[in-house]
Structure 1
Amino acid sequence: MKDQHSSGQNGTDVTVIGLGPMGSALAEAFLGNGRSLTVWNRTPGKADALVAKGANRTTTVAEAVAASPVTIMCLNDYTTMYRVLDSAGGAFEGRTLVNLNSGTPAQARAAADWAAERDLDYLDGAIMVPPPLVGHPESVFLYGGPRDVFDQNRATLALLGDPRYLGADPGLAVLFNTALLAMMYATLNGFLHGAALVGSADVPAVEFAELALGWFMPVVLAPASLAEQAPNLDEGVYPGDLGTMEMNLNALEHIARTSVEQGVQSDLPRLMKELAEQAIALGHGAENYFAMFEVFKKSAAETGGSR
């Protein structure tokens, strides 16, 4: 039985399923923009604050999906999505599901097939900001799936942030998300390892950060400089006139040796050195370090690396 705030079949603009920190932030953004909202969560009490602000709560997923033309889903993973939505039955017909779960491209494509079997329009998305930034115009959300489905729901999605359409492949959003997270963790690990290296000589992290983030990153690894190299990655052109992979291997060997000498964890620099050795073995020794792109495009079996 629905509570007194539930609209059931009367209809609302949008439904949100899953009210963890991120799902609640999505729901708040819709309410804050004056949209009528239906919510459902496995633990009903998580909807109390939203109901107090005007959201409609249903007791079943079927009622939640039926209440709105578009449902935004924010659960832990695709397995949970199937478990939750399998109880919705025919409530899907003619509606749109925007799935903001995390997972892999293969899982996203399988979910799109699952939705098609149920006459359910489907977009797979990825949220690129933490919950407090949901609803800000500059906050990036990524989407993959049919263009017409995206266009029909763009105004609704824009209430959450900046909706970026990546293409018809429903796996593109989680693929981009994974790629960006990989870049984030690699950058964080590089900074933390560098701070540990100088810290082994009792240099405060604050002092290292001043040089690393105040000069090195903005100058040596400036986004504009990396963007200039992107066309070369697409073309496979890596001129070594200003530095070769062999020269970089020498530097990487010094990083690995210094880490060992200073008693700092050395797995990361050893891995970077091994990757440079693979690049040289593949014939990229006279090219610049961006030729490492050719190594990353191949599997471990193709490069001779370990799995």
Structure 2
Amino acid sequence: MSGNQPSPQQSDRESIPQQPAITVLGLGPMGRALAGAFLAAGVRTTVWNRTPGREGDLAERGAVVAASAAEAVAASPLTVICLVNYDATDAVLRRDPVEAALKGRTLVNLSADIPERSRDTGRWAREHGVAYLDGAIMTPADTIGSEHGVFLFSGPAALYEEHRAVLDGLGGTHTHLGEEISRAAAYDIALLDVFWTSMAGYWHALALAEAEGVEPLELAPFAAGIAQILPALFGELAADVQHGGDASGAINPLSSAVSTMAHVVHAAEAHGIDSGVMRAAEGLARRTVALGHGAAGPARILDVMRGPRPAAQA
């Protein structure tokens, strides 16, 4: 046998597909759900948490529990970190042993924070030779590993495609939003805005209904009916804003909307209910009407909310 030919044993080893491997840093409820989904998908999973003992049953299910973050990172070509914010991720990642272990490897950050923090982490990753994807999880921990999970990613498309097969182990819907590293965070923060302001409106509605003798569970089905109207309105308003139209004004002019907002505020405050959120919305609408847009639709409210834009964006 020629000296430069592989031995049969070597050929057999090279023909065996390598099991995909991943490291998960952070074992709060979401981190444990992520690690559990990777294990269920057959991915060799190493885990680490700043506070020991948070791995739950992951070790019994086959996860390797690392003694340090650096050890965990060194165990896999791909690391996913999911902590409460980027202050927490910085405290873990931006230390000599971990930075050294990450060099030449890929990091996916599924923690939540503002877009500027994503851009800052992207700069740090480039400076330290770390391939980096930013991401966002748009659904609760109990959806991870199921068809109901929703994941957003941004960063180099080739890097995303390289690791997509492993990331798909999380189940659900995965969307790559573009090369700009902060795109996922921008979507995340805007969608959280929709969620929390909607929830604030619902809290207020429950308090107002209850004050008028309507039980929360009596109101809930009708509130769900209101929610079903919103998707079409979201699309219509987005088109008006993006293309400068005003299709919704003919049906629901702001002068009428202001009147109904005032009814909500007056009824709630008569019961001593804090109406700060609705007063803010009403105030924006009234300012828009005062500028001569009473017959317009809600798209004109954005002109008041965001102020004058540079000519290039107008």
1:116 aligned partner, one-letter code: R
Secondary structure in 2 matching 1:209: helix
2:205 aligned with 1:194, yes or no?
yes
Is 1:79–2:93 an aligned residue pair?
no
**Within-5 A mapping of 1:97-176:** 97-161=107-171, 162-176=173-187
What is the match of residue 209 of structure 1?
Answer: 220
**AA at the equivalent of 1:224:** A
CA gap of 1:11–1:60, structure 2 versus 1, over 3 A, is: farther
Number of the residue aligned with 1:238:
246
Counterpart CA distance in 2 for 1:202 and 1:255 is 16
- Alignment partners' CA distance in 2, 1:278 and 1:58: 57
User: Could you tell me how far 1:291 is from its partner in structure 2?
Assistant: 2.3
Give the letter for the 1:61 counterpart.
A
Residues 147 and 167 in structure 1, CA contact (< 8 A), matched pair in contact too: yes
Please report how far the alpha carbon of residue 97 of structure 1 lies from its aligned counterpart in structure 2 after TM superposition. Answer: 0.1
Q: Is the 8 A contact 2:43 2:166 kept in 1?
A: no
Alpha-carbon distance in structure 1 between the residues aligned to 2:130 and 2:288: 46
Q: What secondary structure does 2:204 align onto?
A: helix
CA distance in 1, matches of 2:190, 2:43: 33
Secondary structure of 1:52's aligned partner? coil
Deviations 1:160-192 (A, max 9, x none): 132111111221212211211111122222222
- Structure 2 residues not aligned, in runs of 5+: 1-17, 309-314
- What amino acid maps onto 2:104 in structure 1? G
What is the alpha-carbon distance in structure 2 between the residues aligned to residue 57 and residue 12 of structure 1?
17
* Structure 2 CA distance for aligned equivalents of residues 83 and 266 of structure 1: 39
Across the aligned residues of Structure 1 and Structure 2, the Cα RMSD in angstroms comes to 2.1
1:22 Cα deviation from its structure 2 partner: 0.8
1:11 Cα offset (Å): 9.1
For residues 22-62 of structure 1, give each alpha carbon's deviation from its aligned partner in whole angstroms, at most 9, with x where no partner exists: 11111111111111111112223223622222112222222
Q: Which amino acid aligns with 2:253?
A: T
Q: Secondary structure at the match of 2:250?
A: coil
Q: Are 1:200 and 1:263, in contact at CA under 8 Å, matched by a contact in 2?
A: no
Q: CA deviation at 1:135?
A: 0.9
TM-score (norm 1): 0.86
Measured after TM superposition, the shift of residue 103 of structure 1 is 1.0
Tell me if structure 1 keeps the 8 A contact 2:26–2:82: yes
8 Å CA contact 2:206, 2:216 repeated in 1:
yes
* Alpha carbons of structure 1 residues 226 and 47: separation in structure 2 relative to 1, 3 Å: closer
Q: Which runs of 5+ in 1 are unaligned?
A: 1-9, 300-307
Q: Decide whether the 8 Å contact of 2:81 with 2:109 is kept in 1.
A: yes
Q: What is the Cα deviation at residue 283 of structure 1?
A: 4.1
- What letter is aligned with 1:121? A
**DSSP 3-state at the match of 2:174:** strand
* Aligned mate of 1:297, from 276, 283, 306: 306
Q: Percent identity?
A: 37
Alignment check: 8 A CA contact 1:69 1:95 kept: yes
Larger radius of gyration: 2
Please state how far the C-alpha of 1:263 moved relative to its aligned partner: 2.8
- 1:70 Cα deviation from its structure 2 partner: 0.5
8 Å CA contact retained: 2:19, 2:43: no
1:223 aligns with 2:234: no
